[in-house]
Structure 1
Amino acid sequence: MAHPRITGVILAGGLGRRMGGVDKGLQELQGRPMTAWVAERLAPQVDELLINANRNAERYAKFGYRVVADRIPDFAGPLAGLHAALSAATHPWVATAPCDSPFLPPDLVSRLASAMHAADAELAVARTHDQPHPVFCLCRREVLPHLTAYLHSGERKFERWYATLKTVQVPFDDVASAFENINTRDELQRFDSQGQDYSQKSGA
């Protein structure tokens, strides 16, 4: 199904509070920064890839993709990262994935795009069973003014924002484990010690 070209963004702009305030996207899983794992999966799915980061811009730039910082101050969360990406994107549609989910599905964007196109929606959100995952989304660049107004009003909740748009939730029940994320040092250590070949992990 034909659809517009897509800019992808890895959301790595948070404070990593649950991991002790470290820059989570640069923490290593099996000897590679988590952002490297996400980029390896997301880059082939999009026409352009950005990294949203508010610290260590030079280190993130070494991944070979354009780095964009939040335009909304004070580490305002993933919506601020989406806002930065929408402001910088070259293409009409923008897909997001967080830096702490290195197992994301290799067909994430195509499935979101097909659903968004079919529903003529403004935004598509991944869902596993009854759990939506708003940081895995695809949206139209035209929602930027609406998002800007929402953030300037002081709101930060992703779910509350997309509830005001024409949104389609896209089921990924068949690959639910692909949406596992790594929030704490203990979780990172657990995944790191499992010895799996994560380059082959499909989430199935």
Structure 2
Amino acid sequence: MRLSGTPLLDHVLARLRPQADPIALNADADDPRLRTYALPILSDSTADRRGPLAGLAAALRWARDSLQCDRVALVPVDAPFLPTDCLERLLAGGSAISIAASGGRVHPVVGCFSTTLLDDLEDHLGRAERTSVMAWVDRHAPDIVVFDPVRIGSRDVDPFFNINTQDDLAAAAAILAADPSAAAPLSGRGR
């Protein structure tokens, strides 16, 4: 999807690049649209694609085994207004999981996760049950980091506003039209 003529992924990457390095995408490695980004593509860890938890497991394995990192940040590609201090604030917690909240809602796919959770997550995914991200996260007593709305133009906007429908896309475009400076500076694909 494009927001104001730019792929949503570019908006999210522009907000993440100053906060994280390296960055990888959880996606189908055969998707030709992603080749121009020059980022590692992490395919789901399970053949039946069990949603964000399978993607998180792939990221945790990559971070632990390939990078020797002890934490992974997870954000969705459909949240173009991510806070510029998102990861700093999430990493400040001492728990194995820190997740974002705003507007009275918890956002379990915006968080930082310890690689020590990989075995538990893979065991969870190996069972036949299919659970929500929050159901798994809750088992690990996460830190909840509350973010205030961001001021864009004359309105307050949820920093984790996500785009699931054409109406959401139109609303995000209207937010940017009201205040073009709210768009993260786009650094170009593949950088």
Alignment TM-score, normalising by the size of structure 2 = 0.82
Letter aligned with residue 91 of structure 2:
A
Decide which of 94, 113, 135 is 1:160's aligned counterpart. Answer: 135
Stretches of structure 2 that go unaligned for 5 or more consecutive residues are 151-156, 185-191
1:101 and 2:79 matched: yes
Count, aligned residues: 172
Partner of 2:153: none
Partner of 1:189: 170
Percentage of pairs with the same residue: 33
Partner of 1:173: 148
1:63 and 2:41 matched: no
Letter aligned with residue 164 of structure 1:
R
Range with greater deviation from structure 2 (161-170 or 104-113):
161-170
SS in 2 for 1:139: strand
Map 1:78-157 onto structure 2 (within 5 A).
78-89=52-63, 90=67, 91-114=69-92, 116=93, 120-153=94-127, 154-157=129-132
Letter aligned with residue 97 of structure 2:
L
The CA deviation at 1:144 is: 0.4
Range with greater deviation from structure 2 (36-45 or 67-76):
67-76
* Contact 2:97 2:137 (8 Å CA) reproduced: yes
Which digits, 9 at most, give the CA deviation of each residue in 1:43-83, with x for residues without a partner?
A: 21112100111265332131221111112123311111111
C-alpha separation in 2, matches of 1:108 and 1:132: 14
The CA deviation at 1:137 is: 0.5
1:200 and 2:175 matched: no
Partner of 2:21: 47
C-alpha separation in 2, matches of 1:156 and 1:102: 26
* Contact 1:77 1:156 (8 Å CA) reproduced: no
C-alpha separation in 1, matches of 2:49 and 2:147: 29
The CA deviation at 1:200 is: 2.5
Alignment TM-score, normalising by the size of structure 1 = 0.77
Stretches of structure 1 that go unaligned for 5 or more consecutive residues are 1-26
The CA deviation at 1:112 is: 0.5
Distance of aligned partners of 1:190 and 1:136 in 2 relative to their CA distance in 1, 3 Å threshold: same
SS in 1 for 2:17: helix
Partner of 1:77: 51
* Contact 1:104 1:179 (8 Å CA) reproduced: yes
* Contact 2:98 2:143 (8 Å CA) reproduced: yes
